[in-house]
Amino acid sequence: MIDRETAWGILTEHVQDRGLRRHMLATEAAMRFYADRLDGDPERWGLAGLLHDFDWEIHPTSEQHPMDGAPILRERGVPKDVVQAILAHNPEGSGVDAEQPMDWALRACDEITGLIIAATLVRPAKDVRQLKVKSVKRNWKDKLFCAAVSRDEVREMTEDFSRECWDGGLELWQHVGNVLEAMKGAAESLDLDGRLVQS
């Protein structure tokens, strides 16, 4: 089991884009949030979130990512279940299906963080701690806003996560609220604490 410092070193070695780093940090925060609520190990779940897109800059196609990155993670000592979760977040490309709660959670948390980040950055304060679910909902309805985030995919992944881990009891906007709460707790590391107003 590698520690977070080592995982952060893997990330910074392979990812230079600040926006992609922010996305991975946001996903880490969301994964830790859900680990606490599903009797998971926050360290392992956090690693899955932090590293899930670590190879995107070197393998920028769905045919390569994250399959070609998985051997690098294994060589660096990333646990097998964490690599499994990372592979399962792109089942169409990897052929690896989600099996464990950590897998389902990563799939559900991945895309929605992008919409929340975008919703924060268009606000004058650029502070995720001031963002409300209703604002995310308003942006959700605008299909041109953050168009790269597939609403259908987010809805489907949330339904899968709800069915597999919550007995169907997790609704889409409850999930969005949970991820937003997790990201508010990580506002400083995400640079979404108002500092970008000066940039």
Number of domains in the chain: 1
Q: C-alpha angle 56/44/79, rounded to 5°?
A: 75
140 in any annotated domain: yes
**Domain CATH number, residue 20:** 1.10.3210
The percent of residues above 90 in pLDDT, for the chain, comes to 93
199 in any annotated domain: no
Structure tokens at 49: 């979130």
34 in any annotated domain: yes
138 in any annotated domain: yes
Structure tokens at 194: 């108002």
Burial of 51: CB neighbours in 10 Å, binned 0-12, 13-18, 19+: buried
Burial of 71: CB neighbours in 10 Å, binned 0-12, 13-18, 19+: exposed
pLDDT at 62: 85
118 in any annotated domain: yes
57 in any annotated domain: yes
194 near 127, Cβ under 8 Å? Answer: yes
Burial of 136: CB neighbours in 10 Å, binned 0-12, 13-18, 19+: buried
pTM of the model: 0.96
Residue-wise pLDDT for 134-185, tens only, equals: 999 999 999 999 999 999 999 999 999 999 999 999 999 999 999 999 999 9
Q: Is 149 left (phi over 0), alpha (psi -120 to 50) or beta?
A: beta
DSSP 56: T
Distance of CA 191 to the CA centre of its chain: 16
**Residues, the chain, total?**
199
Give the integer Cα–Cα distance in Å for 46 and 42.
6
114 in any annotated domain: yes
Give the integer Cα–Cα distance in Å for 54 and 10.
8
Summary mean pLDDT of the chain: 96
Residue-wise pLDDT for 14-28, tens only, equals: 999 999 999 999 999
Domain that holds residue 25: 4-194
Question: Per-residue pLDDT for 1 more than 90?
Answer: no
38 in any annotated domain: yes
pLDDT at 199: 58
